[in-house]
């Protein structure tokens, strides 16, 4: 009787052991087949974009909604995108020895840039150049430029300067550095150690606008008028330069120094809202709220102090 009960107990325990063994085997098999956190999150570097394509001695073109935005020649180009992302999802590009740069009018539609490498250098699946835009729709080049280096930032990859951030949203930025030289089709000439071309969306009007920013000093020249500024903002469409952080200007009739100035290159008018000092027709002056209409040779100020020169008789006189 006791042996029979023992056999029944052993059979009962064997059944449960078999059940738990089978359940454990299924669980282990599931865990073996299930992707691990390491597999779901492979050890790709997460602290920046990855270089996907490097080109040397190539032409380079950027399009926005089928409109050519800019083109250039570069000694080397490194195009960057995230691991596993499509070619068109560009995170940035670094260019060196930039020559024959051409900047075209802004696209009427707010679209991000598509970067097109030269024929034969792109990977399979790379975007092809859009159909050529009719010349009358594209318009003439806005400016030509060259620089030692360039860095392209799409979208919000690079923050805007504080004075522009509240008014605009960035579509793309192209930062040029090292002996930057840019001349517009209207003859406006900008030289700087660093100049950033910005394609922006106006937050209020929702229209596309363009600005050029020089935060490392700039020299702006038009004909015989020249301004040096520690910081400058240039609107190529309005041909308006806002200079601040210390400004020096020279022109045919004299020169001036002030903290801030606005120069309308189209109207050849310089406005200085802050106190300024300089020379007008060889006569030193100090002025408040000075306006120089260089086209009509008119000088206006709310308050101006002139240092009169003396003629041979010792009498003070105004310049002729």
HSE-CB of 5 using CA atoms within 13 angstroms = 2
25 and 87 in a single domain? The answer is no
Number of domains present in the structure of the chain: 3
Does any domain span residue 299?
Answer: yes
266 and 178 in a single domain? The answer is no
* 193-214 per-residue burial string, b: 16 or more CB within 10 A, e: under 16: bbbbbbbbbeeeeeebbbbbbb
101 and 233 in a single domain? The answer is no
CB-CB contact of 246 with 272 (8 Å): no
273 and 184 in a single domain? The answer is no
Rounded Cα distance, 156 and 13, in Å: 66
Q: What is the pLDDT of residue 301?
A: 87
105 and 130 in a single domain? The answer is yes
Q: What is the pLDDT of residue 236?
A: 94
User: Strand, helix or coil at 9?
Assistant: helix
Does any domain span residue 40?
Answer: no
Question: Pick from 265, 266, 237, 264: which is nearest to 103 by CA?
Answer: 237
Does any domain span residue 42?
Answer: no
179 and 298 in a single domain? The answer is no
310 and 221 in a single domain? The answer is yes
Does any domain span residue 113?
Answer: yes
Which class for 294: exposed (0-12), middle (13-18), buried (19 or more C-beta within 10 A)? Answer: buried
Does any domain span residue 17?
Answer: yes
* Beta-bridge partner residues of 261: 243
Q: Tokens at residue 204, please?
A: 């209020």
Rounded Cα distance, 17 and 243, in Å: 85
Predicted confidence (pLDDT) per residue in 244-274, tens digit: 999 999 999 899 999 999 999 999 999 999 9
Taken as a whole, the chain contains a residue count of 320
pLDDT in tens, the chain (320 residues): 555 666 666 666 566 666 566 666 555 554 444 433 333 333 333 345 455 678 889 888 887 766 788 899 999 988 886 655 444 556 788 999 999 999 998 876 655 566 665 544 444 444 444 444 444 445 689 999 999 999 998 888 889 999 999 899 898 999 999 999 999 999 999 999 999 999 999 999 888 899 999 999 999 999 999 999 999 999 999 999 999 999 999 999 899 999 999 999 999 999 999 999 999 888 899 999 999 999 888 888 888 887 766 555 554 444 44
Does any domain span residue 79?
Answer: yes
Rounded Cα distance, 63 and 53, in Å: 18
Last residue of a domain, one of 202, 236, 257: 202
144 and 100 in a single domain? The answer is yes
96 and 8 in a single domain? The answer is no
Q: Can you give the residue range of the structural domain that contains 239? A: 217-320
Does any domain span residue 119?
Answer: yes
Rounded Cα distance, 219 and 199, in Å: 22
296 and 239 in a single domain? The answer is yes
Q: What is the pLDDT of residue 42?
A: 34
Does any domain span residue 44?
Answer: no
261 and 166 in a single domain? The answer is no
Q: What is the pLDDT of residue 212?
A: 97
Last residue of a domain, one of 153, 176, 202: 202
Last residue of a domain, one of 202, 232, 248: 202
Could you tell me how many helices (H) and strands (E) the chain has, helices first?
4, 20
61 and 196 in a single domain? The answer is yes
CATH of the domain at 309: 2.60.450.10
């Amino acid at each position: 009787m006791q042996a029979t009960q023992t056999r029944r107990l052993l059979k009962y325990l064997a059944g449960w052991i078999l059940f738990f063994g089978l359940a454990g085997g299924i669980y282990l098999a599931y865990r073996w087949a299930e992707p691990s956190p390491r597999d779901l999150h492979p050890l790709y570097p997460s602290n920046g974009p990855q270089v996907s394509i490097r080109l040397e001695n190539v032409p380079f073109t950027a399009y926005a909604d089928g409109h050519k935005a800019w083109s250039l020649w570069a000694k080397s180009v490194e195009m960057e995108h995230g691991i596993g992302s499509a070619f068109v999802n560009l995170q940035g590009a670094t260019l060196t020895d930039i020559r024959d740069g051409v900047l075209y009018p802004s696209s009427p539609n707010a679209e991000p840039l598509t970067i097109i490498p030269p024929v034969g250098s792109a990977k399979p699946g790379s975007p092809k150049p859009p159909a050529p835009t009719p010349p009358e729709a594209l318009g003439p080049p806005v400016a030509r430029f060259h620089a030692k280096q360039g860095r392209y930032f799409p979208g919000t990859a690079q923050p805007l300067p504080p004075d522009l951030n509240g008014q605009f949203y960035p579509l793309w930025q192209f930062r040029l550095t090292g002996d930057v030289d840019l001349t517009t089709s209207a003859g406006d000439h900008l030289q700087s150690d660093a100049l950033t071309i910005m394609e922006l969306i106006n937050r209020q009007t929702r229209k596309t606008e363009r600005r050029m920013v020089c935060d490392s000093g700039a020299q702006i020249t038009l004909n015989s008028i020249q301004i040096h500024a520690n910081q400058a903002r240039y609107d190529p469409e309005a041909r308006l330069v806002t200079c601040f952080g210390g400004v020096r200007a020279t022109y045919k009739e004299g020169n001036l120094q002030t903290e801030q100035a606005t120069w309308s290159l189209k109207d050849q008018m310089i406005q200085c809202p802050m106190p300024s000092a300089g020379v007008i027709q060889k006569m030193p002056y100090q002025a408040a709220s000075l306006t120089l209409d260089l086209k009509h040779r008119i000088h206006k100020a709310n308050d101006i102090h002139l240092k009169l020169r003396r003629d041979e008789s010792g009498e003070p006189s105004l310049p002729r």
